[in-house]
Structure 1
Amino acid sequence: MSTQTQSANAGPASKPRFIVFGAFDRHNFGDMLFAHVVARLLAERRPDVEPVFAGCAQRDLRALGGHDVAALSQLAKRWREEPVTLIHAGGELLTCDAWEAAVMLQKPEEAQTRIARYGSRPADRIAWARAELGTEALAPYVVGRETFAHPASICFNAIGGATLDARDAAFREEVLTKLRSADRVSVRDAQTQATLKRAGIDARLVPDPASMVAELFDARIRKHSSARRGYLAVQFSADFGDDATLAQLAHQLDRLGKTTGLGIVLFRAGAAPWHDDIAVYARLAACMRHAAVTIFESLNTWDICALIANSDGFIGSSLHGRIVAMAYGLPRVNIRHADAAKQRAYVSTWEIADAPGVVPIADTHAAMREALSMNRAVLREKASALAKAYRAACASIMNPQKPDTP
C-alpha cells in the first residue's frame, strides 16, 4: 500500500485535510515541480499541515523525482463529509478535457491502442475516459465544491486556460461554474485572466509556481548536476517529428553549434503520451552535422532542472523549460510547430520587453543568438522579481481563510 493510500485511509484527522491537486500523476516535469513548490511553501507557512497529493489517477512517481499521488476520486469517497482544503497546484488545467487526461495517464503503447480504438468515435471516447478516470467531469483537473460535501476551501493557484474560449459551450460552462464556486482563483497569464473577467470571475495574476525553483530548490538541483558545461539545453515535443520539420530544426541547431561553439543536449520535459519522444530525438541527432550532440536520457525532475540550470540557455517547445531557465536567469527561446497558445500567453505577460519569445523553427538560430546577447544582470533581475511576486501572492493560497489582498 502506498504512503498516500495509508494517509488517506487514516482515521479521524488530527491535522487539517489538505489536498494538493494537479496533473503530476503523469510525467511532465513542470507539473511535477508544482507539487514540490506548493509543498515547500505549505511547510513554511502551515507546519500543521501534512498535504496529500492527488491527481486523476493513483501513480507513484517518486522514482522520477515526483510524488506518491492518490486518485482524487478515491479521496472524495473517503473524505466526502470532511472539511477538506483543496489547492489546484498550477498548470494549464482549465483546458484539459477527459479524453486528453485519460490518454496521457496511459503507458505509451497503451495510449496508441486507445487512440486507435476510440479516437474517431466521440461517444465511445467519452465513455472510456469517464470509466478510466472515475468521474463524469468534462474537465477532470478542475474541481469545485461539488466533489466534497463541506469543503473548507477550494483554491486555484496560478492556473492557465489560454484556449478556454475555443472550447465548446458545455466544457466552458463546467469550468466556469467550478471556478465561481472557488474561494481563491489566481492565474498565470493575462489572457486567461481576461477570459475569466469576461465571465465575471476576478482572478489574481501571478507568475507560474516554477518561478520558485531556483530560490527553493537550488541546493537540491545542484546535487543532480554533472560536470557537463558549455551547451544549450534543447527540447521539443513529438509533433515536431515529421522529416521536413526535423531537417529544418537540425539545420538551425547546426548553425547555432557552429556560431557559438556550444554543444547541443536534447532532453525530454515530459514522457507522458502527447509529450516528447526519445526516438524522434535520435532521428534529429542523425540529421545533424554538429559533432557535440547528446541525448540526455534521464526523466528525473531534478536531473532535468540541473541540466537546464547548468546550460548556456534553453531552446524548446516546453513552457516549463523556459520558466526554469527564467528562474536561473538564462537565455531562453520557445519554438513553435503547431499550437503554442500557452507559451505565447505566458511570454506576453511576464517576459522582458523585446526578449525573444515564441518563434518559428526557421528563426531559432537568430532568436537564440539574440537571447545569448542579453544582459545577464537583467535576466537575473527578472528571475528575482518573478520569484518575489509569486511568494507574495501565494500567502492567500496557503492560508485560504484569511482575506485576500492584491
Structure 2
Amino acid sequence: MTEQVKVIAYGAYDRHNYGDLLFAIVLKRYLEANGRFSVLIAATKTSDLSQYGALPTIPLKQALDETSDQPKTMLIVAGGECLTAQWESIIGYLAPQSIYYPIKATPYLIGHKAFIYLSRMLTSIPSDVPLVLGERDLPGYKVMYNSVGGNQISSKEPLIHDAIEQNLKDCTYVSVRDRETSAELEKIDVEHNLVPDSAILISDIFPQRVDPAERGHIVFHISDHHAKRRIETIAQQLTELNVNTGLKIALLTIGKAPGHSDDEPLDKLQSLLGDERAYRVDSGHIEDIISCIASSKLYCGTSLHGAITALAYAVPQIALLPQNVIKLSSFLETWVPKQVCGFAEVRQISEIGTNLVNSFGDAQRAELRAVVEAMKGQVRANLDHMVALYDEAPANDETAAANSSDPDRIAVN
C-alpha cells in the first residue's frame, strides 16, 4: 500500500466556535475519503474538544515538524473569517475568559508591533497575521485558502494590512466565500476564486431524518456582543413570533469560546420567555446543534454557521442585524435566493419570521435544496482543484516571485 501523504489543515480549531470546528471535520473527511491523504489538524495549541464532537488539534509547529521530510506539503487554511483575525483575538481565545478583554486591549497599550512579536514567539507561528501564512517563510509548503472570509481588510492598520496582502500574494491559491471579501481582495490585487463556505457539506457528513410534517420549532441564536441593550425587545419579538406561528423557540448555544459565548443572553431570554414559549439547547455539541437546526422550521440569529447549517438542511433562515454582522448578510446575499431567507433588525424579527414560516412550502424547500446541491458541487470542485494544484506544483519552492506568477493561479469568477 502506498504511504499516505500528510496534509495540514490549519485554523482556529482549538476554541469552541461552531463554524471553525466544522471546517476541520469537512476537510479531513473529504481529503481522506480515497485513502491517499492523512490530514493533520493544526491550530495555535494542542486542544481536545472531542466532548463537543470536534477533532483534537496539534500546534502548527508540530504539524510542520511532522511534515518536514516530505518534498512538498499542502497546507490548507480551512475556512472561517481568518483573513482579518489578529493576534489579540487568537491569544485571547487561549486565555481564561476573565482576561479575554484585557488581552484584546494590550496591543493598544504596548503597540501592535511589540504584541505581534510576543505572539509569534509564544506560538512559533511564522506570520504577523495568525491565520494568514505566506510561502516565503514555509519552503516546501503549498499554502492554499479554502473559501475563507475577511471583510474590511482595507480598514486595518498598515502593519496588518500589508502583512495580509503580502502573504496572500505569496501562496499557491486563494478562494473566498462572499462578495464582500472578494471586493476587498480585488482592492489589493490578490487573485482568487469565489466559492461557497465548505461547511455546506455537513449535511452529507451528518444526515438527518426530518419529517416535514412534524410541528418543529424555531431556532434563535444571538451572541453576547450583539445582545447588549436588546434583550427586552428581542423577548417581545420572540413572544409575538411564538403567538403568530404556534411554534416554540429553541434558544440555541452555538459558541462557548471567549468572545463567542452565547449562553448568558440566551439564559436571560429563557427567563423572560418562560418554559411555555421557549426552551434552551445549550450542550454545545456539534451534533446537537445540527439536529436542533435541521429539525426546525426557521433559523434566526447572528451566527453565520447557524445560517449555513439551516441552509444545508433546507431550512429558511434570517440574518439578524445584517448591518452589524456583515459576514452573515454578505454570505446569504451572495448565494441564497431572497425568497427563502430574510434580513431583520431586532424590531422586524416577528414580522419577517412569521412571513417566512407561513410562505415556506414544498416548492420553496425544493428550490433551496437545488441551490444547496449546486453549492456543494462548487465546494467539491474547489477542494479537487487544490489537490490538482498540489499535484502540479514543483517539489521545491524557488522564489516567492516564481510562485506569484504561477500560471495555475486563477482569477476571480
TM-score by length of 1: 0.87
1:63-112 CA-partner distances (Å, limit 9, x unpaired): 21111101113333554564221011111110100001111223323535
Question: Match for 1:139 among 126, 129, 132?
Answer: 129
Matched, 1:386 2:372: no
Query: 2:273 maps to what in 1?
Result: 288
Size of the alignment, in residue pairs? 385
CA offset at residue 114 of structure 1?
4.1
The equivalences for 1:155-194 within 5 A come to 155-194=144-183
Q: Shift in Å at residue 277 of structure 1?
A: 3.0
- The separation in 1 between residues aligned to 2:120 and 2:239, in whole angstroms, is 46
How many percent of aligned residue pairs carry the same amino acid? 26
| 1:134–1:358 Cα change, 3 Å | farther
The answer to whether 1:342 aligns with 2:327 is yes
2:316·2:340 contact (CA, 8 Å) conserved in 1?
no
Q: Is residue 17 of structure 1 aligned with residue 17 of structure 2?
A: no
Q: Is 1:76–1:147's contact at 8 Å kept on the other side of the alignment?
A: no
Cα pair distance change 1:125/1:94, threshold 3 Å:
same
Q: Is 1:59 aligned with 2:47? A: yes
Contact 2:46–2:58 (8 Å) recurs in 1: yes
Aligned to 1:50: 38
Distance in 2 of aligned mates of 1:207 and 1:302: 22
Identify if the C-alpha distance between structure 1 residues 338 and 274 changes in structure 2 by more than 3 Å, giving closer, same or farther: farther
* Cα distance between partner residues in 2 of 1:383 and 1:134: 39
Q: Check whether the contact 1:79–1:148 (CA below 8 A) recurs between aligned residues.
A: no
Letter in 1 for 2:134: G
Q: Which residue of 2 aligns with 1:238?
A: 224
Q: Aligned partners of 1:186, 1:280: CA distance in 2, in Å?
A: 34
Q: Which moved more, 1:250-259 or 1:72-81?
A: 72-81
* Candidates 140, 148, 163, aligned match of 1:150: 140
**Distance verdict in 2 for CA 1:114–1:196, change over 3 Å:** closer
Partner of 1:76: 64
1:396 aligns with 2:394: no
Q: C-alpha displacement at 1:352, in angstroms?
A: 0.5
In structure 1, runs of 5+ residues without a counterpart are 1-12
Match of 1:308 among 289, 293, 297: 293
Deviation at 1:369, TM superposition (A): 2.0
2:86 corresponds to: 97
Structure 1, 121-130 or 264-273: larger mean CA deviation:
121-130
Distance 1:391 1:293, change over 3 A: same
State the SS of the aligned residue for 2:41. strand
The separation in 1 between residues aligned to 2:224 and 2:102, in whole angstroms, is 17
* Cross-structure match for 2:400: none
Distance in 2 between residues matched to 1:202 and 1:357, nearest whole Å: 31
1:102–1:133 Cα contact (<8 Å) kept? no
Q: Using the alignment, how far apart are the partners of 2:92 and 2:39 within structure 1?
A: 27
Q: How far does residue 270 in structure 1 lie from its aligned partner after superposition?
A: 1.0
What is the deviation of 1:137? 2.9
**How far 1:354 moved relative to its partner?**
4.7
AA aligned opposite 1:231: H
- 1:276 correspondence with 2:261: yes
Q: Which deviates further from its counterpart, 165-174 or 76-85?
A: 76-85
SS at match of 1:95: coil
Root mean square deviation, CA, Å: 2.6
**How far 1:318 sits from its partner (Å)?**
0.1
Asked if the contact 1:80/1:148 (under 8 Å) is kept, the reply is no
Unaligned runs of at least 5 residues, structure 2: 393-407
Q: Is the 8 A contact 2:239 2:277 kept in 1?
A: no
Instruction: Report how far residue 229 of structure 1 moved.
Output: 5.6
User: Structure 2 counterpart of 1:348, which letter?
Assistant: E
Are the equivalent residues in 1 in contact too, given 2:322–2:343 (CA < 8 A)? no
